[in-house]
């Protein structure tokens, strides 16, 4: 990555300085046929702003033979931007074989002056057994070895190392360690995860996200990370959050050929639509019934254009979310696009280690957090804050006062707007520690009330059973670690939620030696 403008989760808003011009990441890399395209390469740039496309060395060979008399793939396709060339591995994944050798594929890509080239790997479909997947992983490593001298010799092409292993995380791990130990990894300018198209076709987003997470965790972050066959725009925010800088897809035209209309919340069939829920130039001009009545080529072209518009718009939306630090909030929104995507988001929040998200998320941001429900409880700004309090806070006494706050207003707002509370805090006893209880965080020492993110949020005030349970667990951890003997609990805002929470906290310590009392604010 040549320049990083902003980052959030593992997503990076940045600039790639490629041979035919700079590319803003994250970006979709549209797939085009070397010969016949219903949306031209030139339109990809002029209509949608894509300065980076991908085509196929294998398909070029099948349709044109060995490049002879063609100056470049750019001239052939009428595109002045950056072109990546796939090796033919997708044909192996889709049809089981491709009549092209690894070196032949590399030579075609070089002769066509591709900006980014790809090693011919052996894909691993999800139906493979462990033994089959391991054999294909080992064959891919052999092909990397076979291609390595060619790669080192042809510096004019930025070469891509495919990552294989399929759904088996152990094999992905073994593969990356092996190519690293052999000295191959550092000689490639792109890394790319493959074999995901059939996994997405099965809506197996948990496996997809697990594969991306494993590969991204093991690969160096100074090299762009690509995902082959990204598919639908509703998953774009998730794969960006997991660390994908670029991702290619032919879904825009493949869906169109089947009469399918993309949105960021799912896919419709043209026959099921009463109206188009989109203001793009296609949807503003046509009605669904009208498109159903035109000739096939016109219908496919217009659906393809719409699918590209919605994909390009989602990329821009992700750019904005990254710049503002709101990518997690976009994930919460998109997670409800499909039940299996929601299941996968559940996996990302509960099963993925918190450190994975925290390590790449800024400690402070220029914006307040939007807190919706228990899913927001897991966002890295909050998990990190809870850990730091638990690890770093040193109690000043054995007495504790818990000030329960509903979250309707921030602790700082409540303190600043209430003379009684300000007076109480100013005159507070030196032999007592004071903390604020927030239902989506847990315990916050009063001294930290002003610091990010404890007073920089907007909360929905929706208290789910799980959210309350998780917050109470944080209270219990804090009190147990600091070995308090006496606890007094009061609410600091006159909201019914606060009273309910206040009453529920003593139940955490029924079997404890501690003295726990509910009191009114005036009694402090």
Check if 433 is active-site: no
**How many Cβ atoms are within 10 Å of 77's Cβ, its own excluded?**
23
Residues in the chain: 524
CA distances for 331 relative to 47, 219, 375, 473, angstroms: 27, 24, 10, 25
Of 8, 68, 86, 204, the active-site residue reads: 86
**Token representation of residue 290:** 């009208």
- Closest alpha carbon to 227 in 214, 207, 243: 243
Q: What is the CA radius of gyration of the chain?
A: 27
**Spatial CA neighbour of 222 closest among 237, 243, 195:** 243
**CA–CA gap between residue 299 and residue 288 (Å, rounded):** 10
CA distance 456 to 350: 24
DSSP states of 40-99 as a string? -HHHHHHTT---EEEEEHHHHHHHH-S--S---HHHHHT--SEEEEE-SHHHHHHHS--S
- Three-state DSSP string of 316-333: HHHHHHHHHCCHHHHHHH
Distance (Å) of CA 198 to CA 98, 120, 205, 279, 502:
18, 19, 11, 32, 51
In order of 487, 490, 519, the CA distances from 395 in angstroms are 13, 19, 22
Give CA–CA dist 454/382, Å, rounded.
9
Q: DSSP character for 186?
A: G
Q: Work out the widest C-alpha separation in the chain, in whole angstroms.
A: 90
What is the 3 state secondary structure string of 277-313? Answer: CCCCHHHHHCCHHHHHCCCHHHHHHHHHHHHHHHHHH
Q: Do 340 and 203 touch, CB atoms closer than 8 A?
A: yes
Helix axes 57-64, 102-111, angle to 10 degrees: 80
Element (H, E) at 118: strand 116-118
Active site residues: 86
């Amino acid at each position: 990555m040549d320049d990083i403008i902003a980052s959030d989760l593992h997503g990076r808003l940045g600039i790639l300085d490629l041979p035919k011009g700079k590319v803003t990441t994250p970006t979709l890399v549209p797939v085009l046929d070397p010969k016949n395209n219903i949306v031209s390469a030139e339109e990809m740039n002029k209509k949608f702003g894509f300065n980076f496309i991908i085509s196929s060395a294998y398909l070029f060979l099948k349709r044109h033979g060995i490049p002879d008399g063609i100056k470049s793939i750019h001239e052939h396709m009428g595109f002045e931007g950056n072109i990546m060339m796939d090796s033919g591995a997708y044909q192996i994944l889709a049809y089981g074989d491709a009549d092209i050798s690894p070196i032949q594929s590399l030579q075609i890509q070089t002769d066509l002056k591709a900006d980014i080239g790809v090693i011919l790997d052996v894909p691993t479909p999800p139906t493979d057994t462990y033994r089959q997947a391991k054999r294909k992983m080992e064959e891919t490593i052999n092909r990397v070895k076979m291609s390595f001298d060619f790669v080192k010799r042809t510096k004019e092409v930025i070469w891509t190392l495919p990552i294989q292993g399929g759904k088996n995380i152990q094999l992905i791990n073994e593969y990356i360690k092996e190519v690293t130990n052999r000295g191959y990894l550092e000689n490639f300018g792109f890394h790319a995860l493959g074999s995901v198209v059939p996994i997405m076709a099965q809506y197996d987003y948990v496996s997809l996200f697990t594969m991306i997470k494993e590969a991204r965790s093991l690969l160096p972050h100074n090299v762009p990370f690509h995902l082959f066959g990204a598919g639908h725009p509703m998953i774009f925010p998730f794969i960006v959050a997991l660390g994908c800088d670029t991702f290619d897809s032919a879904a825009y035209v493949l869906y169109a050929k089947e009469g399918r209309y993309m949105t960021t919340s799912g896919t419709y069939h043209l026959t099921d639509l009463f109206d188009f829920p989109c203001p793009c130039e296609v949807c503003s001009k046509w009605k669904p019934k009208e498109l159903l009545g035109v000739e096939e080529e016109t219908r496919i072209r217009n659906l393809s254009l719409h699918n590209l518009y919605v994909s390009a718009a989602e990329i821009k939306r992700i750019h904005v979310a990254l710049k503002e630090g709101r990518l997690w909030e976009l994930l919460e929104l998109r997670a409800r696009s499909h039940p299996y995507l929601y299941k996968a988001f559940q996996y990302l929040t509960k099963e993925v280690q918190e450190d994975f998200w925290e390590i790449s998320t800024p400690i402070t941001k220029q914006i307040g957090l939007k807190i919706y429900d228990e899913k927001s409880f897991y966002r890295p700004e909050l998990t990190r804050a809870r850990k730091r309090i638990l690890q770093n806070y040193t109690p000043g006494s054995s007495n504790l006062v818990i000030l329960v706050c509903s979250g309707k207003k921030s602790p700082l707002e409540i303190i600043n707007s209430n003379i009684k509370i300000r007076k109480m805090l100013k005159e507070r006893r030196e032999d007592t520690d004071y903390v604020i209880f927030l239902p989506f965080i847990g315990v916050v020492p009063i001294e930290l009330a002003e610091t990010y993110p404890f007073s920089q949020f907007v909360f929905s005030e929706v208290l789910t059973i799980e959210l309350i349970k998780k917050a109470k667990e944080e209270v219990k951890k804090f009190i147990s670690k600091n070995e308090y003997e006496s606890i007094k609990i009061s609410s600091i805002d006159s909201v019914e939620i606060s009273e309910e929470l206040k009453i529920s906290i003593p139940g955490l310590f029924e079997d404890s030696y501690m003295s726990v009392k509910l009191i009114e604010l005036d009694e402090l």
